[in-house]
Amino acid sequence: MMDSAIIEEKIKTYIMTDLARDHSGSDLKRDESLIDRGIIDSLGLFKLIAFIEEEFGVAVEPQEVRTDNFETLAMVSDLVGKKIARKSARS
């Protein structure tokens, strides 16, 4: 089972290299708003979901695409962690 720190690191690396457009800024804090930081907009959001589904082999349900799951890195990692746990519990 994947460590939550590894999950968070993978998501963070993707966000910082592929989604962030200003690469000169300070490090991304886990509780910093991805929306305020300009990382999540309508395009960024669906790119991030595609990455999560591909990288971790989990499905993000439409009703999960909410600010309370995607506002911060910590929330996104938490959502992915729970999905992976549920997936391995089933298999």
Residues that bind another protein (CB under 8 A): 17, 21-24, 33, 35-36, 38, 40-43, 45-46, 62-63, 65-67, 70-71
Tally Cβ neighbours within 10 Å of residue 13: 10
3-state secondary structure of 72: strand
3-state secondary structure of 10: helix
Q: Which is nearer to another protein, 18 or 85 (CB)?
A: 18
**Under 8 Å CB-to-CB from 55, ≥6 apart: which residues?**
10, 14
Q: Which is nearer to another protein, 66 or 86 (CB)?
A: 66
Q: How far is the CB of 21 from another protein (least distance, A)?
A: 4
Q: Which is nearer to another protein, 63 or 91 (CB)?
A: 63
Q: How far is the CB of 9 from another protein (least distance, A)?
A: 19
Name the residue among 24, 23, 4 with its Cα closest to residue 15: 23
